[in-house]
Amino acid sequence: MAHTYQLFIDGKWRDAADGATMPAINPYNQEVHAQVPIATTADVEEAVQAARRAFATTWSKTTPGERARLLNKVADLLDADADRMAVLETTDNGKVIRETGSQMGYAARIFRYYAAWADKLHGDVVPLDQKDTLDLAIRVPYGVVACVTAWNSPVAILTNTLPAALAAGNCVIVKPSEHASTTTLEMARLCEAAGFPAGVVQVVTGAGEVGAALTGSKGIDKISFTGSPGVGRMIGSVAGGNLKPVTMELGGKSPNIVFDDADFDRALVGALAGIFGATGQTCIAGSRLLVQRGIYDRMVEGLAKRAAQIVMGDPRLPETEMGTAANEPQFNKILSFIDAAKGDGARLVAGGGRADGPGLDKGFFIQPTIFADVRNDMKVAAEEIFGPVLSIIPFTEEEEAVQIANDTPYGLASGVWSENIGRCLRLTRAIQSGVVWVNTYRVAAPQAPFGGMKDSGYGRVRGEAGILEFTQTKNVFIDFSGDKRDPFSMKF
């Protein structure tokens, strides 16, 4: 029987004001596994006002040590509930259990990391020319933060922002994707169990109208958004009209560059991980594989052979290597890109359509697909697909690889495979992306900042940079001279 969820507003679980719900559909079997509420505009505004009250009366008066204790408690609860949470997320979006399971542990690590940051926002004493004035530059929270997250890794994306915002002293309202909301609601339950005061952590669910109401509210002080550039532009426009700061992570079309002198076997595995891990539904997918001509044919052949061996099936089983597209709209979008690549003349060497076979007939399964001899101006190479579709592009010289890598509006992630340390260092500087992996791919750490350049967004999550995104600098002048002053001349 499908579980019916409720909104979490002002410390209470309740239905949407008009009682409306939407189905949560398991992409593996297309069965409804839950009902999720659709918040009204009034529900959203109630959450905003509850957050403002909580910040003014409770949360802004909470000590850093108390915030740290609550964040560590969430981490403990998440560790204890990790297996159930992993199964639920796999059920919600089709990602394999071997990844959702590890993501739950990783999320707990991020909570603990930012718990340790809660009492480390020291600020500075600023030396001035004025001898009788003490100057303090201190870090303070914004107040009420709206976090809008995506469907591909709901818990991981949420924990990129939620614990940092809370550690900094903000109240947070989360709006998850309508395609994967259940684990975010469960995270709110863990925060409730940990003892966060009412209104400090809230969740409103629904489609784009709910997100627009939240990010457009004048009661919001800061916005964090993960999603598409199109929606990001709309949010940025509204936020600009309200003069509200925004942090955005907007996806990518990442180049994964393999040189002739690379460790071939490691690079092949890295290429597979970059595009077929998480069914390619990740902002950091290495969807453009640039291969130097000396090993090009060998790499194409090796990848095609390995792609055909990828185990697909029930994503809840540990032996499954690749799950489904997360939802039907995404499934159809991926297939349309495959058709476009065929029409543009790219050479299909693996996959190329919907996957079939035992246990695959009801799910949104797509074959691991590889196109060779791709030009960078083809649609399959130019636009973000968010699926298991790899474009292999040949290059001759290092300068050509850099030119192809940067010939995109995106700039989130990239990879470089070479045993030449000088070349690796040159490319880490030359490639226009927020993250560069060298002789590895798709690696993350709580301590390491993450974010994009160009159309991949701005601002950073994780690391020290991640918590600073949720603070602003307040300057305090203290005059201890005791002198009277000229009231008509500013003191410099």
Q: Which one of 171, 186, 283, 469 is the catalytic residue? A: 283
Three-state DSSP state, 169: coil
Distance CA 369, CA 77 (A): 39
What whole-number distance in Å separates Cα of residue 475 and Cα of residue 477? 7
Which residues on neighbouring strands pair with residue 256, listed in sequence order? 289, 415
Strand order in the sheet with 201-203: 12-14, 7-9, 201-203, 171-175, 144-148, 222-226, 246-249, 457-458
Q: In Å, what is the CA distance from 391 to each residue of 373, 378, 382, 437?
A: 8, 10, 10, 19
Start-to-end CA span in the chain (Å): 70
Q: Which of 435, 437, 427 is nearest to 465 (CA)?
A: 435
Structure tokens that stand for 460 in this block? 């950073």
The β-bridge partners of 479 are 133
Catalytic residue among 178, 249, 321, 384: 249
Rg (CA), the chain: 24
Q: Which residues of 37-50 are buried (b: 16+ CB within 10 A; e: fewer)?
A: bbbbeebbbbbbbb
- Token couple for 17: 């004001």
Is 171 a residue of the active site? Answer: no
484 contacts: CB under 8 Å, gap ≥ 6 = none
CA distances from 58 to 46, 52, 199, 425 (A): 17, 10, 9, 49
Cα separation, 138 vs 148, in Å, equals: 28
Spatial distance between the Cα atoms of 339 and 354, rounded to a whole number of angstroms: 11
16 contacts 44 by C-beta, under 8 angstroms: no
Angle between helices 64-80 and 182-194 (to 10 degrees): 130
Say whether 283 is catalytic: yes
Positions marked active-site: 249, 283
